[in-house]
Amino acid sequence: VPEIPIAALNHFDFCPYRCYLMFVVCEFEDNAYTLEGTRLHQRSDTPGQSQRGEITQFRSIWLSSETYGLYGRADVIEMKNDQIYPVEHKRGKKGDWRNDQLQLCAQALCLEEMLKIRIPTAYLYYAESHQREEVSLDSALRDYTIQTIENVRALLVDSRPPAAIYGKRCKGCSLYNSCLPREMMRAREYVLKEEDQ
């Protein structure tokens, strides 16, 4: 049974075909968005500890869960009084998808298992808007995360490509040229039309 990188959940939720390209075919291309994301992560990817008032921050912490077969790295784990929670740093501003919440919840599931605690809330930090979003780790988000872990595991085991469906998200996708979803969609439509004649 394959272990699942936490980042794969985020990519699967954004687009299953992108997840397939990255984690089955092992293909990755940078674009302006991913390079900006890498630059942003440079500080949080450097292991270390710092103090901000009553908050202690631990950067670049490895996480894993035997229960869910997950592993990955949290940008930042914060400790405030008796609370411990992950903070995931993101480029840009809050998007239309739940992929960031999903990734954060998966980090919290690992941390809960490792520390034997319950984490009710965690945070997303969006660099462009400098906003921190509090994310409630409620049962709906937990269920959605666990279901996505199973979906990604099935994708890794099955190794068959899911459909590449052209949509709004393709505009910023660094793998567009490997996928060509709009061109493939047009080609499929053309073939179907020819078959009908």
The count of chain residues that interact with ligand SF4, using the rule CB under 6 A, is 13
Q: Is 170 in the site for ligand SF4 (CB under 6 A)?
A: yes
Is 176 a binding residue for ligand SF4 by CB under 6 A? The answer is yes
Query: Which of 119/175 has CB closer to ligand SF4?
Result: 175
Q: Does 169 bind ligand SF4 (CB under 6 A)?
A: yes
Q: Does 61 bind ligand SF4 (CB under 6 A)?
A: no
* Three-state SS sequence of the chain: CCCEEHHHHHHHHHCHHHHHHHHCCCCCCCCHHHHHHHHHHHHHCCCEEEEECCEEEEEEEEEEECCCCEEEEEEEEEEECCEEEEEEEECCCCCCCCHHHHHHHHHHHHHHHHHCCCCCEEEEEECCCCEEEEEECCHHHHHHHHHHHHHHHHHHHHCCCCCCCCCHHHHHCCCHHHHCHHHHHHHHHHHHHHHHC
If the CB atoms of residues 116 and 168 are measured against ligand SF4, the closer one turns out to be 168
* Residues 95-154 within binding reach of ligand SF4 (CB under 6 A): none
Task: Decide: is 40 part of the binding site for ligand SF4 (CB under 6 A).
Answer: no
Indicate the residue among 57 and 174 with the shorter CB distance to ligand SF4. Answer: 174
Angstrom CA distances, 91 to 131, 148, 165, stand at 11, 23, 24
Residues 139 and 67: their CA atoms lie apart, in Å, by 17
Is 164 one of the binding residues for ligand SF4 (CB under 6 A)? yes
Interface residue with ligand SF4 among 15, 40, 124, 152 (CB under 6 A) is 15
| Residue 1 Cβ vs ligand SF4, minimum distance, rounded to whole Å | 25
| Among positions 10, 18, 75, 101, the unique one binding ligand SF4 when judged by CB under 6 A | 18
- The distance of closest approach from Cβ of residue 177 to ligand SF4 in the complex, given in angstroms and rounded to an integer, is 9
The footprint of ligand SF4 (CB under 6 A) covers: 15, 17-18, 21, 164-165, 169-170, 173, 175-176, 179, 181
